Structure 1
Amino acid sequence: MSVDDYEGDEIAVIGIAARVPGAPDAAAFWRNLLDGVDSIRDYTADELRAAGVPESLLSHPDYVRSAGHLDDLDRFDAEFFGYPPEEAALIDPQHRLFLQTAWTVLEDGGYDVTRCDGSVGVFAGAAANQYLLRHLLPGRHSPLGPDGRLAPGHTPDYLPARVSYKLGLTGPSVAVQTACSSSLVAVALAAQALQDFRCDLAIAGGVAVTATTPSGYLATEAGVLSRDGRCRSFDADASGSAPAGGAGAVLLKRLADAQEDGDHVYAVLRGWAVTNEGAGRAGFLTPGVDGQAAAVTEALAAAELAPETLGFLEISGGGTAVGDAMEVAGLHRAFAAAGGEPTHCVLGCVKANVGNLDAASGIAGLIKAVLAVHTGTIPANPNFAVRNPEIDFTQGGFSVAEKTAPWPEVHAIRRAGVTAISMNGTNAHVVVEEPPPRPIVESDGTRCELVVSARTPELVTVAARRLADHLRAHPDLALADVAYTLGVGRRAFGYHAIVDAATLSEACSALDGELAIERAEPELVPGAGRRVPLPGYPFAGERHWVEPPREGGADRPNGRNE
């Protein structure tokens, strides 16, 4: 089946957003992947002491001083989302992260939801609220009432509803809680909702904050946490992965609608499946092979694709010798069940770059696969040197992405599979395909007005500089498309600047220069054009944080702690 043989029920990925260790946005994430960057951070003993880690842990021989660190976790643009500082300081940082991620993914898709028809759904999962456990419950900010009940809003169940409320979205708002597979299961549910016409756009993804302060962990011999803080998927020295935090989302739409509306399509979701291992495994927290194989087989069947057409497989890959071997064994079994065998299929695992993102692991892997099929480049898998002898590579076909390389030439159409596995047995697999060709539109020299709007004059300048950097990095963009996207896909705020230009070079010079910023909401009247990805809103990011109680003291009582 070729990209011209669509049956009308395929789902398009029209927006992406991510914030992961070492990368504040999806573009930086992709650059790190292409460069094979390992973004796990090694903390110093002094950093950990300052964060309250006791000496008994620091001196423990099995304590690993590493994690996937998120910068500025304590910062949030509360005013942008209408939260007073005191309330913002009590909100789960996961909710705050995903709120901004959801806004960004809508902008990346070119949509201001106040000016588009149809309903928008939200499908998302989150990890446990560590901020509640470590910062709020032990101190004077405890959200427990006098009857011992927890006030609403502090659990992962409220994540998608908070997004729907703050952004004014009226489609299905569904919390997905399947541990490490949550965000990829959310994608499958969102895609199905679109196929069933339950909504017209869908935000799908997840978020995890596994540590709210710098901290390491205790590695155990039979555990899933790495003994040296590094995830070595497929490698002979694999011993697990490091815990990490992050957030990611995709914006989904029915492909036929996306093409009709002139949307930018990163990739197409051809098939998806969600399964559970049931009782057929060694223990409740022990993944099995059958359920993993069933998810892959079912997704391929839904996509009506032969397994040998896949050129890349982004696996869950926890980086343990046994776990990785089981997952590859499941792939062999799935391919055989589907009547094929791998043909130059490259394996990768994003955990080797950013660590285990818990509920956000699946969406990070999906975004990697989406950008791989979109660009035709498969990123290197870091920390791989010697093949894990437990993995059966003798059947041929599978190889590890040892360096960043072009898509295998044997595959005429770029297709990838993405797997997310949970210790609770719920597995998901999604089949991703390169987008249909989009005609190239060259600028014809017509002058265009680029409108940049933000809540403050300073942020207008920041947004303009970011737009200029983006245009320089993407010289193939048509200026009319840029102007159109700014006109239809951005909210009008209290300050704005207008740049008049006939070429990208002229636009960049003007955006970098002295801007005539007006204190008024701009009139966004777009001309003809198509939606293209552009930088999102530059959130202000003030500090809203309750410090965890320390021995002999209490948490700080104010919402904005400097």
Structure 2
Amino acid sequence: MSENSVVRDEPIAVIGMACRIPGASTPDEFWQLLRNGESAITEIPDDRYAAQLRDAGIRRGGFVREVDTFDPEFFGISPREALAMDPQQRLVLELCWEALESAGVVPARLRDSRTGVFVGAIADDYATLTHQRDRSAITQHTLTGLNRGLIANRVSYALGLRGPSVAVDTGQSSSLAAVHLACESLRRGDTGTALAGGVQLNVAPDGFLAAARFGALSPDGDCFTFDARANGYVRGEGGGLVVLKRLSDALCDGDPVLCVIRGSEANNDGGGDSLTTPAAEGQAALLRAAYERAGVEPSQVQYVELHGTGTKVGDPVEARALGEVLGTGRPAGSPLLVGSAKTNVGHLEGAAGITGLIKTVLALVHGELPASLNHESPHPAIPLADLNLRVQTGLGEWTPDEDAPRRAGVSSFGMGGTNVHVVLEQGPVAESAEAGGQPSVAAGVVPWVLSGRGGAALRGQAERLRAFVAARPELSPVDVGYSLALSRSAFSHRATVVGADREELLQSLEDLASGVVPGAAISSGPTAFLFAGQGAQRLGMGRELYEAFPVFASVFDEVCGGLDRHLDGSVRGVVFGGDAGALDRTVFTQ
């Protein structure tokens, strides 16, 4: 195949995601932060070496809460080993579980499958802290606990996954490079399902000091992306992961398709003015290749999530490449909209690309473009009008012209010149149950099943579910019950709440969360059958189930058909009839 040949990329579906970033512990919380135009940048907390960093002139950053908390037994890890583990390993384990749950995938069903794990990670803060202590801090678990390569391997081991398991380090583009590699693995058939993303936790002062002395940090403690005040970035931390499948497989399996990755590409600048100086030619080549592989005309893209660090050199280079490839071929009155999540949460470095990707997926799903903060006047070296670019400075509806699908690009660039760009498109519109001819479900008592590895975990699940449903009045109780029964792991401590309506179910969840003692399931044992005997029968019993649930009706008819061959009469006719005397005849009663 010649170097100029273009192979169209098979579309990849994003079916689930999870994140833990400044100001947000879930994608829903991240979306609210973005939609409200909020910044999660704060003064450096005292437990993050605030005094030492203030002495160096560093006062602000983006931080996640409770990076020191972890439930090791949930993942089969001893407390002693957990203490020696890099918190980045612990966070990625949690995010993978949450991402699979968001996709409706029970992790146990992936065991022994060709599921791949691709995680971008560039920081070794916990190793730095460990080695600064005396040698007694080195234990039998230190080698595995501090090895960055094991961040992905931990997930593969914990979930029993047999696909590729790769830690990726391309600098600040690592997490988006991990997504690109996961897509390539899916297209080759090496992987059936992939978990991809990145992690960055800034738990030692050294990373702050190194970035400051390199000249990368903003003295103001904010990212002024594409703005005249651009003078560096503010550091952030956290992590994010997406669950990926080939689109054809996702549709066949009935997975929730949040959006589609039409194509992706990675390259290197191949030499600029210095090792760390970006080159517009390299970025422009990346963009052209990405859109060729995706089969998308650059003029069809409505929004690009920038790398957008807010540096004096980097921003103008990125703008020039975007203008050359995506801006100049557009109608004059239809500029390319651009923005950067770094203005909200800081530069997450090893997890920066996945943060921008998750932001853009959320925007595609909700049909809105949130504001890029801190933009008042363009950088003097970025002629926005000439490049046909416009910074998205407010919350706006995302409505493409002529019924075109929403399309976007996401960029992430590494300090050493490794660049990645991903082309996204809104997911296919799912048919409603009514349009698909599915029968409606009659009102009645609905069960919601919950479980946890312990009583406290189960009560926590009840509280989280109550808060989730209470904030979403549009949710159907039946749909919630279906998802809980079929797309959640069943642990040893279990409880079921029942209710005839939403309010009754929410009250039952509140009772469970406040301390009702749950039951513990028996892991194994003999099977028993219980027959009610006589006296439980009544006219019309089962009629509501029969009318509401086709599966129940089909089985009921099948059983009645088998019995009726041996009886003088119809079981269904007697049960659903009006003659109580006939129902009390022993032959029908039993």
Check whether TM > 0.5: yes
Shift of 1:509: 3.1
Counterpart of 1:86 in structure 2 is 80
Superposition pairs of residues 12-161 of structure 1, within 5 angstroms:
12-43=13-44, 47=46, 51=49, 53-54=51-52, 58-60=54-56, 63-116=57-110, 118-143=113-138, 151-161=143-153
**Which stretch of structure 1 is more off in the superposition, 340-349 or 107-116?**
340-349
Q: Structure 1 CA distance, aligned partners of 2:150 and 2:396? A: 41
| TM-aligned CA distance change 1:90 to 1:219, over 3 Å | closer
Q: Structure 2 CA distance, aligned partners of 1:163 and 1:444? A: 39
Is 2:363 the partner of 1:372?
yes
Shift of 1:67: 1.4
Shift of 1:483: 2.4
Superposition pairs of residues 225-244 of structure 1, within 5 angstroms:
225-244=217-236
* Partner AA of 1:307 in structure 2: P
Superposition pairs of residues 295-306 of structure 1, within 5 angstroms:
295-306=286-297
Q: Structure 1 CA distance, aligned partners of 2:477 and 2:365? A: 22
Counterpart of 2:569 in structure 1 is none
Superposition pairs of residues 549-560 of structure 1, within 5 angstroms:
none
Is 2:245 the partner of 1:250?
no
| TM-aligned CA distance change 1:491 to 1:144, over 3 Å | closer
Q: Structure 1 CA distance, aligned partners of 2:387 and 2:327? A: 13
Counterpart of 2:353 in structure 1 is 362
| TM-aligned CA distance change 1:115 to 1:221, over 3 Å | closer
Q: Structure 1 CA distance, aligned partners of 2:216 and 2:206? A: 20
Three-state SS of the structure 2 residue aligned to 1:244 is: coil
Counterpart of 2:442 in structure 1 is 445
* Partner AA of 1:123 in structure 2: F
Q: Structure 2 CA distance, aligned partners of 1:434 and 1:474? A: 23
| TM-aligned CA distance change 1:408 to 1:67, over 3 Å | same
Structure whose residues are more often helix by fraction: 2
| TM-aligned CA distance change 1:492 to 1:141, over 3 Å | farther
Shift of 1:433: 0.8
**Which stretch of structure 1 is more off in the superposition, 374-383 or 497-506?**
497-506
8 Å contact kept, 1:19–1:25? yes
Q: Structure 2 CA distance, aligned partners of 1:516 and 1:52? A: 43
Shift of 1:488: 2.6
Point out where structure 2 has 5 or more consecutive residues left out of the alignment. Answer: 1-7, 435-439, 525-548, 552-590
| TM-aligned CA distance change 1:519 to 1:137, over 3 Å | same
Counterpart of 1:172 in structure 2 is 164
Counterpart of 1:556 in structure 2 is none
Q: Structure 2 CA distance, aligned partners of 1:360 and 1:220? A: 19
**Which stretch of structure 1 is more off in the superposition, 427-436 or 444-453?**
444-453
Three-state SS of the structure 1 residue aligned to 2:19 is: strand
Shift of 1:392: 2.0
Superposition pairs of residues 394-543 of structure 1, within 5 angstroms:
394-395=385-386, 397-410=388-401, 412-441=404-433, 444-445=441-442, 447-514=445-512, 517-520=518-521
Q: Structure 2 CA distance, aligned partners of 1:181 and 1:340? A: 28
8 Å contact kept, 1:453–1:522? no
1:170-209 per-position Cα deviation (integer Å, ceiling 9, x unaligned): 1111121101111101111111111122121100000011
Three-state SS of the structure 1 residue aligned to 2:149 is: helix
8 Å contact kept, 1:102–1:203? yes
TM superposition score normalised by structure 2: 0.80
8 Å contact kept, 2:305–2:411? yes
| TM-aligned CA distance change 1:488 to 1:401, over 3 Å | same
8 Å contact kept, 1:219–1:227? no
Counterpart of 1:548 in structure 2 is none
1:435-487 per-position Cα deviation (integer Å, ceiling 9, x unaligned): 11112347633544221111122221221121122223333334343223222
8 Å contact kept, 1:64–1:228? no
Q: Structure 1 CA distance, aligned partners of 2:50 and 2:357? A: 35
Shift of 1:316: 0.4
Shift of 1:214: 11
* Partner AA of 2:346 in structure 1: G
- Say which one has the larger Rg: 2
8 Å contact kept, 1:51–1:215? no
* Partner AA of 2:426 in structure 1: E
| TM-aligned CA distance change 1:158 to 1:8, over 3 Å | closer
Higher RCO, Cα 8 Å, sep 6+: 1
Three-state SS of the structure 1 residue aligned to 2:248 is: helix
**RMSD of aligned alpha carbons:** 2.8
Q: Structure 1 CA distance, aligned partners of 2:185 and 2:265? A: 13
* Partner AA of 2:118 in structure 1: F
* Partner AA of 2:339 in structure 1: G
Shift of 1:212: 4.1
Shift of 1:141: 4.2
8 Å contact kept, 2:85–2:144? no
Q: Structure 2 CA distance, aligned partners of 1:67 and 1:168? A: 37
Is 2:334 the partner of 1:333?
no
* Partner AA of 2:41 in structure 1: I
1:482-508 per-position Cα deviation (integer Å, ceiling 9, x unaligned): 223222322111211112345444432
* Partner AA of 2:509 in structure 1: L
Counterpart of 1:382 in structure 2 is 373
8 Å contact kept, 1:496–1:518? yes
Shift of 1:312: 1.1
8 Å contact kept, 2:106–2:489? yes
Counterpart of 2:540 in structure 1 is none
| TM-aligned CA distance change 1:423 to 1:211, over 3 Å | same
Counterpart of 1:554 in structure 2 is none
* Partner AA of 1:25 in structure 2: T
Shift of 1:107: 0.8
Shift of 1:91: 0.5
Q: Structure 1 CA distance, aligned partners of 2:225 and 2:54? A: 27
| TM-aligned CA distance change 1:293 to 1:522, over 3 Å | farther
* Partner AA of 1:347 in structure 2: V
Three-state SS of the structure 2 residue aligned to 1:413 is: coil
8 Å contact kept, 2:44–2:50? no
1:126-152 per-position Cα deviation (integer Å, ceiling 9, x unaligned): 12211111234432444489xxx9834
Point out where structure 1 has 5 or more consecutive residues left out of the alignment. Answer: 1-6, 530-562
Q: Structure 2 CA distance, aligned partners of 1:59 and 1:182? A: 31
| TM-aligned CA distance change 1:456 to 1:305, over 3 Å | same
**Which stretch of structure 1 is more off in the superposition, 92-101 or 482-491?**
482-491
| TM-aligned CA distance change 1:510 to 1:397, over 3 Å | farther
The match for 1:308 among 299, 304, 317 is 299
- Matched length: 508
Q: Percent identity?
A: 37
TM superposition score normalised by structure 1: 0.84
8 Å contact kept, 1:127–1:210? no
Three-state SS of the structure 2 residue aligned to 1:330 is: helix
Three-state SS of the structure 1 residue aligned to 2:384 is: coil
Q: Structure 1 CA distance, aligned partners of 2:378 and 2:243? A: 36
